[in-house]
Amino acid sequence: MATNTTPASSSPLSSTSRIIQLAATISSSVAKLQEILDAAGSPSPSFDQDAPVAPLPREALAFQDAVLDATAELHDLLLEPIELIFSHGAHNNMACLQAIGRFNIAALVPLAAAATTSFEDIAAKTGLSLSMTRRLVRHAMTMRIFCEPQPGFVGHTQASRWLAVPHNSTWITTAGDEMWPATLKMIESAHTYPDSQEASQSGFSLANNTTQSIYDVMAMDPPRAQRFATAMHAYAGSPGFDAAHVLDHHDWASLGPAKVVDVGGSQGHIARALASRFPELDITVQDFAPVIQGAEDALPPDLRPRVRFMAHNFFAPQPLRADVYYCRWIFHNWTDKYAVLILRGLASAMTPGSRLLIQEICMPEPGEIAHWRDKMYRAMDLNMAAVFNSHERTVSQWETLLAEADPRFQLRDVVSPPGSVLSLFDVRWNATEEMVEGRPKSGGSYLV
């Protein structure tokens, strides 16, 4: 939207109009982005189903930001207010995505190049009417999901082919059947339970007609819980959540022979990556017993001496002494009340010199990052509100949370690796060192 821009002058001759400025930004940035792709031997982006799904080179990310923000602003500037507001409404999009997930429509379209299937065939296999099938799938096409290479026949685009992968299909099913109903009840829960710290008073709970939290609901329905966990694999496999970000942007090698505890580490995919890259690390992965079941048996033989699994509830006092306690993407599921309890459980084991490495979204201040990324983070923040009654946190919110848990927690540095959705919060215990040169002790922006 154009709200963060300087309005163009009413006189067309007094200055360059905003739409011309945006067009110039798009033209120059696309040219530079293509130069980088050509130099790297990378293909140009394409909707074609056979186009590779790969992250842009790191040096192209700034130009990606410029193009996406400028094209979105230009698009929005040329709409009337009612058209602008309607274009950002998601209810019709979600109805369409829910149908694609629930009936696994992406898997009904052949994957072979240029292969298609008819609307009639999709309707017969889903049980939907031909009319509704055509309307839903053609609406999906406006989002670049599926294409109609010849009248009446549906083919894949890159996006629909991605949805044909089983765990990606599960992700979109979970979005439609779990996240969306919770979101529809989010405002009701926020009004009914203002400033609640309980997951049992969330939009998810209201949507499920229960006074229990999502954790309790899922515990009573293992297949549903497994579907939710499988859906999260779609995130884990995306470039923004690549393990390389934590491997490359924290100085693990300088630790030497160190003990690491991966708190809430699930089946240990980050621990395996760390142990493979840094042979001096000794890593224990902690999670609930059902979560880690079978994980040790799946380890490569060469990692078994240095990677082990331990059943542990992270609200309880931490039983292991370690050099680093690593928490990846777990705090955002919990309100401040419970995040403090997790931190206090860790504080019971920390000693001078030990550190806590937290990998979470770092919520930006307005105007701090590219508009399209800001929009994505704020959507994720509302997801947490709807399902867990929790939130993503800014740097200042992290500082407040750490101080409440124990003033000996000191946030020493925050790094946001290029292309990563998650930032790295380097927290030291009772540290006396100054912040890394060039980074503020508190407030300001830590984004790099």
Query: Catalytic residues, which ones?
Result: 332
Give, for 138, the enclosing helix (H) or strand (E): helix 130-141
d(CA 119, CA 126) in angstroms, rounded, equals 11
Q: At 223, list the tokens.
A: 């297949």
Question: Which segments within 257-300 are labelled E, that is strand?
Answer: 259-263, 282-287
d(CA 109, CA 77) in angstroms, rounded, equals 37
Amino acid identity of residue 296, one-letter, is E
44-63 b/e with 16+ CB inside 10 Å = b? eeeeebeeeeeebbeebbeb
Q: Which of 49, 66, 47 is nearest to 142 (CA)?
A: 47
CB 426 within 8 A of CB 411: yes
Q: At 302, list the tokens.
A: 């060469």
Q: At 142, list the tokens.
A: 């406006």
d(CA 270, CA 267) in angstroms, rounded, equals 9
Q: Which of 28, 122, 35 is nearest to 67 (CA)?
A: 28
Q: At 20, list the tokens.
A: 């011309």
d(CA 91, CA 107) in angstroms, rounded, equals 23
Location of structure tokens 């923004």: 240
Q: Which positions ≥6 away from 212 have C-beta within 8 Å?
A: 200, 205
CB 100 within 8 A of CB 106: yes
Q: At 368, list the tokens.
A: 């701090």
d(CA 12, CA 94) in angstroms, rounded, equals 41
